[in-house]
Chain A
Amino acid sequence: EVQLLESGGGLEQPGGSLRLSCAASGFTFSNYGMSWVRQAPGKGLEWLSAISGSGGSTYYPDSVRGRFTISRDNSKNTLYLQMKSLRAEDTAIYYCAKDQDDLVGGFDLWGRGTLVTVSS
């Protein structure tokens, strides 16, 4: 079955760190770029980062550059998002999403999401 499954969310204190994982199955993982997208409670979608199929290219918006790091392990078919210096405004559902091609957007497969709550 073609699917993405996120894990690693939870409650973290401000200033803390978390690493999210996204396990992929049912497709040739290394052929596709991948992204992380988040959605704060009651808000819209925010793209966070993208990584090429090889892992050699990564992209971020200014809002998270330097705090968030995207990576992947193609041998494990797994995508990661390392988050540090967490803030209350990072509270959101975090989705991983598959590009239609390598770094061609239009996310044709999404995970169910993992909830990150940043609070003391």
Chain B
Amino acid sequence: DIQMTQSPSTLSASVGDRVTITCRASQSISTWLAWYQQKPGTAPKLLIYKASSLESGVPSRFSGSGSGSDFTLTISSLQPDDLASYYCQQYNFYPWTFGQGTKVEIK
């Protein structure tokens, strides 16, 4: 199975900060990677698919990059509404697998 490793597990940043979350796959997954945001008590929401494509309706401060094994999710200017956990997911090979998550806190 492909292991997805996210870092950091938790991060605390101020409103307006640029925030970067990384996701590393244990083998190449091309660009078959998605990023999700999950706010407390709610279902996950798709932010990014195919590593860098922004889902419709998602604010442009979110962006994704990478290919092969290394990927990043960037929030260009952190907003209070971005308080959430973020997960990457590979869908190149079965079983599809998620990273362990990154919790973003607002200072």
Query: Is A95's CB under 8 angstroms from B96's CB?
Result: no
Chain A positions within 8 Å of B38 at CB level: 45
Known: A45-B44, A110-B43, A110-B44. A105 touches B98 (CB 8 A): no
| Chain B contact surface mostly | loop
CB of B59 closer than 8 Å to a CB of A:
no
CA gap between A115 and B91 in the complex, in Å: 25
- Name the residue on A nearest B35 (C-beta): A106
Q: Is the Cβ of B98 less than 8 Å from the Cβ of A47?
A: yes
B78 CB-CB contact with A under 8 Å: no
Asked if residues B91 and A104 are in contact (CB atoms below 8 Å), the reply is: yes
Contacts A106-B46, A106-B49, A113-B43 known; list 13 others, CB within 8 Å. Answer: A37-B44, A44-B87, A44-B99, A45-B38, A45-B87, A59-B95, A61-B95, A105-B34, A106-B34, A108-B49, A108-B55, A110-B45, A111-B43
A–B pairs, 29, beta carbons within 8 Å: A35-B96, A44-B99, A44-B100, A44-B101, A45-B36, A45-B38, A45-B87, A45-B101, A46-B98, A47-B96, A47-B97, A50-B94, A60-B95, A61-B1, A61-B94, A95-B43, A100-B49, A105-B32, A105-B34, A105-B96, A106-B34, A106-B46, A106-B91, A107-B36, A107-B44, A111-B43, A112-B42, A112-B43, A113-B43
